[in-house]
Amino acid sequence: MNRTVILGTGAAVPNKVLTNKDLETIVDTSDEWISTRTGIKSRYIAEDGETTSTLATEAARRSLDMAGVRPAEVDMIIVGTTSPDMVMPNTGALVQKHLGASNAFAFDVYAACSGFVYALTIADKFVKENPEKKILAIGSELLSSITDWQDRNTCVLFGDAAGAALVSGSNDGERGILSTHLHSDGCLWELLYIPGGGCVYPPSAEMAEKRDYCIRMHGNEVYKHAVRSLTEVAQEALLANQLDPEDVDLFIPHQANIRIMTKVAERLKISPDRVYMNIERYGNTSSASIPVALDEANRSGRLKPGDLVLLDAFGGGFTWGAVMIRW
């Protein structure tokens, strides 16, 4: 049966590490509060020259190297991001340029923390139609560029990173993407958003002074919706494939908060040893969080052929979604 398979994965982070102790010198917070409320200990923060497209390119290059595929063989590049280098061109086009992927077309998906799951879903649909196509699905963010470093409610949460997966078609038994599930609810946009920078509230001196180009979040409300939506869409994916929670070998939820991940896994009845968590070292990297975790699991040998992997995302919009993969 023809399915979309992941031929290679890759990830990239900036050089600089910002610890909770470092944050104690920036805002009124503590390592104790951040660790116990979120599970985060440190995160990577970009410095000069590191951008969403350069991180995405590095992650993509690593996925191509793993697959033994040349940039010129790539047909399509999809980048999930909420922190593009520029409004125009799209980040995918810049990745195409940096990689030298001269035969690819490229575009961005704007679905916040669900960006990678959305990108992978779109890639899956294209591969279903053209199994020989090679597609890069990427999640890349420089959240540090849209973080209000005076707002302790949000600045302790985010980090910068990129992750990529190169996909194509295969007839290798049951291997590949089994199903994809996407959802949105635009009615709840005000719980997690960036007020300025778009046509409603264009860039201005006032906007910059109020730091209204930065992420605003009603954390408590988002928390409740995240737990509910992540649980429901994971159950939807299990049901669609007539699988039970105990069939899942590795559950990779969006890394927003260790308490959210624990609660969702409990509700799904997936045991803690089968939940991938790396939020301690990265913080919340939005669309990059799932592909970075997938790449770590892949490179560390945690994933074995035939394993059942469940990706589960939630973010601003709201957007949420799941992808079930037979590795």
| Closest to ligand UT7 by CB, 34 or 214 | 34
Q: How many chain residues bind ligand UT7 (CB under 6 A)?
A: 20
284 among known catalytic residues? yes
113 among known catalytic residues: yes
**Interface residues for ligand UT7 in 16-35 (CB under 6 A)?**
29, 33-34
DSSP letters spanning 141-199: EEGGGG--TT-HHHHTTB-EEEEEEEEEEE-STT-EEEEEEEEE-GGGGGGEE--SSSS
Q: Is 255 helix (H, G, I), strand (E, B) or coil?
A: coil
Question: Is the dihedral angle over the CA atoms 287, 291, 294, 296 positive or is it negative?
Answer: negative
CA 144 to chain centroid, in Å, comes to: 15
Contact between 183 and ligand UT7 by CB under 6 A: the answer reads no
Q: Which is nearer to ligand UT7, 71 or 315 (CB)?
A: 315
- Residue 138 DSSP label: E
Stretch that binds ligand UT7, among 44-52, 130-138, 180-188, 220-228 (CB under 6 A): 220-228
Fill in the per-residue mask, 283 to 312: x = in contact with ligand UT7 (CB under 6 A), - = not in contact: -x----------------------------
97 binds ligand UT7 (CB under 6 A): no
Angle between helices 31-38 and 258-268 (to 10 degrees): 20
- Contact between 222 and ligand UT7 (CB under 6 A)? yes
Buried b (16+ CB within 10 A) or exposed e, 94-113: bbbebbebeebebbbbbbbb
SS3 at position 101: coil
Query: Residue 314 or residue 327: which is nearer to ligand UT7 going by CB?
Result: 314
Place of tokens 């994809």: 180
**Comparison of 162 and 303: residue with beta carbon closer to ligand UT7:** 162
Clarify whether 225 is annotated catalytic.
no
- Determine if the peptide bond prior to 251 is cis (ω within 30°): no
Asked if 226 touches ligand UT7 (CB under 6 A), the answer is yes
Active site residues: 113, 254, 284
Binding site for ligand UT7 (CB under 6 A): 29, 33-34, 37-38, 113, 152-153, 156, 219-220, 222-223, 226, 256-257, 260, 284, 314-315
